[in-house]
Amino acid sequence: MSPSAPERRIRITIAYDGTAFHGWQVQPGLTTIQGELERAYLALSKTAVKIQGSGRTDAGVHALAQVAAFTTTNPIPCDNLRRAMNRLLPPAIRVLHAQEVASKFHARFDAVSKLYEYRIFRDEICSPFERPYVHHFPYPLDEAKMAEAAGLFVGVHDFGAFAASDEKYGSNYCASRTIYLSELVREGPRLFFRVRGSGFLKHMVRNLAGTLIEVGKGNLGGADVRRLLTAPGGSTSGSTAPASGLFLVEVTYKS
């Protein structure tokens, strides 16, 4: 009997247009990013694997560089693996890079930070070719106040007021997160909210963006944002911004 092939840990970087997908995580009867990746790998190797991502993006959210990893005994070289998976994946999902990593590598738990970008299109007319990738908001906003409020998110805070309900958030769940960067930048007709943090709660970035929009509309002020960051359990932020404007830009790891 020939010896079994050694296990390999493969890290992949993926870009996807999340418009037509029900988020990252596999869900019965629904088309998801994780599900499509696992389906493509099964077709390629005839062996099922669980592909673990750095986090779960919501339905309709996009990624420029999501990171995931899986363990396999398939000896296919990484470049060939990338090409083969891209032939089997729908065009809205691309494997950008594949590499062999240490067996203990975990895409989620080893991540040091994640960078998200929320895009708001401010002009009256938004091209139909851009509309799936922005939140079109042509109405008056005080962008200076929004930028000032964005800076309040930096630091270690309890972001429970900015999280959607989730079964894993029990009474003792710690909602504290560290935000390293939070800025609002205007570039032409587009307003970019960029936020880098140690981790994010469910819908957190979309709720941060929605809160900034409420600040821009004059419905909330800096004092309200500070209150939300120190609010007792049960307090919630303003509206949740649409998923179409959100991009996972980068996941960083220790070198």
What whole-number distance in Å separates Cα of residue 55 and Cα of residue 34?
A: 11
Active site (annotated) includes residue 58: yes
Dmax (CA) of the chain = 73
Task: Single out the catalytic residue among 58, 123, 158, 166.
Answer: 58
What pLDDT is recorded for position 3? 58
What tens digit of pLDDT does each residue of 109-146 get?
A: 999 999 999 999 999 999 999 999 999 999 999 999 99
- Residue-wise pLDDT tens digits, 221-250: 999 999 999 875 556 676 899 999 999 999
CB-CB neighbours of 25 under 10 Å: 16
Which pLDDT band, with edges at 50, 70 and 90, does 2 fall under? very low
Each residue's pLDDT tens digit, 63-95: 999 999 999 999 999 999 999 999 999 999 999
What mean pLDDT is reported for the chain?
93
Burial of 46 (0-12, 13-18, 19+ CB in 10 A): exposed
Count, residues in the chain: 255
Q: List the domains of the chain with CATH numbers.
A: 8-101 (3.30.70.580), 112-253 (3.30.70.660)
| Pairing mode, strands 111-121 and 62-72 | unpaired
Residue 1 predicted with pLDDT over 50: no
- In this prediction, residue 170 carries a pLDDT of 56
β-pair type (93-101, 135-136): unpaired
SS3 126: coil
